[in-house]
Amino acid sequence: MISMPRSFAVCTVLLFGLCAGAQAEIKSGDNPESSVVWQKVRASLFQSRPIAAATDDVISLEVPVRAEDAAIVPIAIKTRFPQTSARYVDKLYLIIDNNPSPISAVFQFTPLSGQADIETRVRIDEYTHVRAIAETNDGQLHMTTRFLKASGGCSAPPGKDAQAALATLGRMKFRVEGETAGTTSGSKPVLAQLMISHPNNSGLAMDQMTRLFTPAHFVRQVRITFGGQLVMSADVDFSISENPNFRFYFLPRGEAELKAEVVDSNDLKFSSALKYRRPD
């Protein structure tokens, strides 16, 4: 065999080592608790803490039945109660068992988030369980799980035009979508959307023979503040689609600056800000 760098070999094992014996199980989506990857992730993130099955009054996870385009799969995690200082979602974990890096995102929220909802788009490498786990401020964990079918043959997780993606690296579009039907009276959470032009390369794909290699280069942290106070932060990786997109809420008080600060895996920093005051 042709030799290859050790790191790539490890990645390949992570990516496709699971194909060998368990193809039927991969496609069925049965027994989400028995997923070997999940058991490892659970042990590393939550040790032996109890994780309740989330009921609909806590969180829901919206994913399509099938990844139509493996590179761009819209997902939404919705919490079912408002963020108050008495009770709020502190963290949301997004786990995609059969992606090369299963811990795909860890979102942090505050009472200023208003509503701890998040929408984004992910890559889906393989038939997989997708999990959203909410950690509330009292330390309780609630998990909801969906099974997602992989896309067909000619769709693949890497982006569609690597050169175009690099050409606009770091450009951002940041806007306030406006109020929606929130659950608090008087001051409803306001929805905002952040778009970041970035190839979000995994660095995993390399051909042994040609040595063609796109190095890992991805957004790793997003931090949103309003008037200097944290609204939402996200530790993310290349499970997030090319041109990362996040939709989230904040609770505006008076007029202030809504600011997004982004750091990528090469320690490049990008930021975007806008003034916002709730319309009277």
Partner 1 sequence: MAGVPFRWPRCLALAVTSALLCGPGGAAAQGTNNVAPLAVTQVKPGVFVHLGALEDWAAANGGDVANLGFVVGSRCVAVIDTGGTPAVGQALRAAVEVATPLPVCYVVNTHAHPDHMLGSVAFVATNQSAPRFVASAGFARTLAARAPYYLNALQRDFGITLPPAAIVYPTLGVEKSLDIDLGDRVLTLRAWPTAHTDNDLSVYDQRTRTLFASDLLFVRHVPVLDGNLRGWISAMAELKQLDVAMLVPGHGPVSSDWPAVGDAQADYLNALLRDTRAAIKDRLTIQQAVDRIGVPPGSQWLLTDRFHRRNVTAAFAELEWEDDVPPRPAAPSPAGSSAQPARTTGG
Binding residues for partner 1, rule: CB under 8 A, are 1-2, 12, 15-16, 19, 23, 26-27, 62, 64, 68-70, 72, 74, 76, 119, 121, 125-126, 150-158, 160-164, 167-168, 171, 173, 177, 195, 197, 204-210, 212-214, 241-243, 245, 247
Smallest distance, Å, CB 245 to partner 1? 8
Q: Is 21 left (phi over 0), alpha (psi -120 to 50) or beta?
A: alpha
Q: How far apart are CA 7 and CA 38, in angstroms?
A: 22
CB-based contacts of 122: which residues, under 8 Å, 6+ apart? 73, 75, 94, 96, 99, 104, 239, 240, 241
Smallest distance, Å, CB 49 to partner 1? 32
Helix (H, G, I), strand (E, B) or coil at 17: helix
Using the minimum distance from each CB to partner 1, give the nearer residue, 112 or 234.
Answer: 234
Beta strands in 54-137 (DSSP E): 59-62, 73-79, 89-96, 103-109, 118-122, 128-136
| Beta strands 128-136; 118-122: pairing state | unpaired
Judged on CB neighbours under 10 Å (0-12, 13-18, 19+), 140 is middle
Using the minimum distance from each CB to partner 1, give the nearer residue, 112 or 260.
Answer: 260
Using the minimum distance from each CB to partner 1, give the nearer residue, 86 or 154.
Answer: 154
Using the minimum distance from each CB to partner 1, give the nearer residue, 98 or 136.
Answer: 98
CB-based contacts of 38: which residues, under 8 Å, 6+ apart? 32, 95, 97, 102, 129, 131
Using the minimum distance from each CB to partner 1, give the nearer residue, 26 or 256.
Answer: 26
Smallest distance, Å, CB 121 to partner 1? 7
Q: How far apart are CA 230 and CA 10, in angstroms?
A: 37
Smallest distance, Å, CB 57 to partner 1? 23
Using the minimum distance from each CB to partner 1, give the nearer residue, 135 or 242.
Answer: 242
Using the minimum distance from each CB to partner 1, give the nearer residue, 86 or 212.
Answer: 212
| Beta strands 190-196; 245-250: pairing state | antiparallel
Smallest distance, Å, CB 11 to partner 1? 9
Smallest distance, Å, CB 254 to partner 1? 25
Smallest distance, Å, CB 194 to partner 1? 12
Q: How far apart are CA 251 and CA 179, in angstroms?
A: 10
